[in-house]
Amino acid sequence: MSVCAPAWAFMGSYKHPQVFGPLDLEIIDRVYDAAWAEVGAREPFRDRERDDDRRAELRKLVMDNTGSGRVEFDALYERVMANMPGKRSFFTHPHAR
């Protein structure tokens, strides 16, 4: 008897999307809120007209840093803050030339 893997097993890997439970989603929300508070504290006189863009960038940054395992507040917050652009471009509107 021959045991062969199906053809689809060799066609590359499919990365299943991360599924978050209610607690994970709550932690992600709280990390986002804490990181947004840090944005406000770092740059209180920022151009607030760009806040929607900044919030979208921050949401993406948080989700990109969730990883594939269990979501823990401290670890996720540290990753988000470590990967947050330290450059003022995240907080201020780039100058038009």
Task: Please state the domain count of the chain.
Answer: 1
The answer to the question of residue 75 being in a domain is yes
DSSP characters over 3-31? ----GGGGS----PPP---HHHHHHHHHH
The answer to the question of residue 3 being in a domain is no
pLDDT of residue 96: 43
- For the stretch 3-46, pLDDT in tens is 555 554 555 555 556 788 999 999 999 999 999 999 889 888 98
The answer to the question of residue 96 being in a domain is no
pTM of the entire predicted model? 0.71
Q: With beta carbons less than 8 A apart as the criterion, state whether 28 and 20 touch.
A: yes
Q: With beta carbons less than 8 A apart as the criterion, state whether 25 and 74 touch.
A: no
The answer to the question of residue 41 being in a domain is yes
Residue 59 CB neighbours (<10 A): 14
The answer to the question of residue 31 being in a domain is yes
> Domain range holding 30?
13-90
The answer to the question of residue 1 being in a domain is no
The answer to the question of residue 2 being in a domain is no
Distance CA 17, CA 14 (A): 9
Q: With beta carbons less than 8 A apart as the criterion, state whether 55 and 36 touch.
A: yes
The answer to the question of residue 6 being in a domain is no
